[in-house]
Each structure stands twice: as C-alpha cells, then as structure tokens.
Amino acid sequence: RKEQLQLLASEEGRTLDGVKIRLAGNISSLKDFDAALKHGAEGAGLFRTEFLYMHRSSLPDEEEQYEAYRQVAEKASGHPVVIRTLDIGGDKELEYLPLSEEDNPFLGYRAIRISLDRTDLFRTQLSAILRASAVGNVKLMYPMISSVEELQTANGILREVMRDLDYRGLPYDPDIQVGIMIEVPAAAAIADLLAEEADFFSIGTNDLVQYVLAVDRMNEQIAHLYTPYHPAVLRMIRSTVEAANAAHIPVSVCGEMAGDERAVPLWLHLGIRDLSMSPQSLLRVKHRILNTESTGAAIIGEQCYRLRTSQEVEAYLEQASVQVT
C-alpha cells in the first residue's frame, strides 16, 4: 500500500474529471522539504521558520536565515515557497527571548504581535526573506493577523526593509506576494477588509479551530471537542473563501485539515484548489483526489453545510469516503 502510494508522487493532483488541486508541503527545514518533494509536493505552502530560531542560545542572524531560505527556494525549482514570519509564543519558546508567564499564552504575546513589538528581529527576518525572493518563487506570509492595522504596520516595516536593501545594493523581488494566515476568528470576520491589503490568504485551521471553538489545541482532556468539522468552523472557512473570491485573491488551506482526505469534497464545493500539508499526508490526499469525481464530491461538500453537528458532518464525509475507496 505504501509502495503503491509512492507511485503517485510524480502524478499531478487531478480529480477523475480533471480538476487540478495543487498539493504543497508544510515544512520547517530543508530536510522536511526533501521529504515533501519525495512525496510529490509542488512547492511549500507553509515554511514554518520558528524552528530556525529554536533549540539554540542566540538569534540566527540575517546571513544564516538567508542561507536557509535560499536553499529551500532554489530546491523548489520554480514552485512557490511561502515563508511565514516567526510564529513564536503560545506553545513555542526561545531561550534567548524569555517570555513572561502568561495565564493564556495562546491569547498572548505571540507571532506577529512579537514581530511588531521586537521590530529588530522582524526586520532581520524580512531582509533575509526578501533576499531569498531574488533566487526563487518566494512569497511572504504573516501569522496570527487579527486586524487591518497589524497588516498595514507589518507592510510599512516591509517597505522600509526594501528601501534598506536598495541602499545596500542587495537584490529582491519588489513584487513579492505578501499574504496572511487566516487563523483568528477576527481575521475571518473581516476577511473582506484584509483582502484589500493582502495578496493571498492561507487558512490555518489548527489555530482557527482552537479560537473559534474555544478549545485549547494542546489540552488532551477536551481533545474530543477539537474538530474542524464543527459548523462554526466550516462557516468561517466559507466566508473567508467568499471574501477572497470577491477580492480576486488566491486562498489556500494549510492547517492539518488540509491533510485529512475526508475534507476533499469540502474543498471541491468551496472552490479551494490549493492545499498545503505535512509531507506524510501528501500521497494519501492525492490518492483521494485522483479517485474523486468533482461534481459529485462538490454536492457532498455542499450537503455538509446543511448538517447541524460536527458528528453528522464527519459521519457523512466518512460514508462518502467509503464510496470512493
């Protein structure tokens, strides 16, 4: 079964009736990217950069980061690589950046909030990412955006860093695409406003589920309540896609839900054609796509929106899965 799946690595992700779905990898390192490519990834839809900063005693400088980003960008041979700025805090900590004890770390000093506070770290990272955009198809993405101001402030700093690179005579792509994660309910609710200022959206279901349902993603005791198939989450995803479509910007999904093959009918219904997932999920999801007829699946996806509980949605999708396998 594993060997059979591996044969799919070089095939394009297309439904039986020809709808193309791009499958990219969620990676944290060049090594991860190798694994993703081996499983047929078309680029990296989410490069989590925090691991470059973790398990060490000092900050990685611009050169070191540039090197890491450049290697992935080159290896992608023209496919997009979406580099996300530092998403530290919450469950992830850094030795040299002590974070104070917080009652609710996932609601606290985290991700873009740290970057906009510690602009020294942010500028260094933006410089390195911009420089990598000169050697490959690099896109930039901000995590945990929850307001228009945050996006505007981040983009203001980005423009300053661009001017700085001009001054230093270092090349970068001046038209680099700059997108945001939609992973906070506030962002989903104002997706139309954010779409005016962002070049693309990537829906991060891991955090979106935790914040929409008020269910800590790390808490075993309530793990049974943590599900992306809750109608509230499904509605948030749908309204985000609608806002992206209205603004003519691309939208992808990069949370764990993208790696769950049962969700394929939902993507076909919503018009999502771009998924990013952990390397181990790529072939399983591709297998499902290759065996799916898109119009029938889209109807199944649409039906999910008429159901009232996550149990009903999951059971319905599972029953639909049995029919394709």
Contact footprint for ligand PEP (CB under 6 A): 46, 48, 87, 183, 204-207, 254-255
Comparison of 173 and 183: residue with beta carbon closer to Mg ion: 183
Report what 255 binds from ligand PEP, Mg ion, none; CB cut-off 5-8 Å by kind: ligand PEP
Comparison of 48 and 287: residue with beta carbon closer to ligand PEP: 48
Angle between helices 231-246 and 310-324 (to 10 degrees): 70
Closest CA to 41 of 275, 257, 293: 275
Residue ranges binding Mg ion (CB under 5 A): 183, 204, 207
Comparison of 65 and 202: residue with beta carbon closer to ligand PEP: 202
Report what 48 binds from ligand PEP, Mg ion, none; CB cut-off 5-8 Å by kind: ligand PEP
Least separation in angstroms between residue 139's CB and Mg ion is: 17
Cα 143 from Cα 26, distance rounded (Å): 14
Report what 185 binds from ligand PEP, Mg ion, none; CB cut-off 5-8 Å by kind: none
Degrees, nearest 5: CA angle 289-278-60: 150
Least separation in angstroms between residue 321's CB and ligand PEP is: 22
Comparison of 150 and 183: residue with beta carbon closer to Mg ion: 183
**In 3-state terms, what secondary structure has residue 178?**
strand
Looking up tokens 């693309």 gives 200
Degrees, nearest 5: CA angle 316-274-321: 20
Cα 288 from Cα 21, distance rounded (Å): 11
Least separation in angstroms between residue 204's CB and ligand PEP is: 3
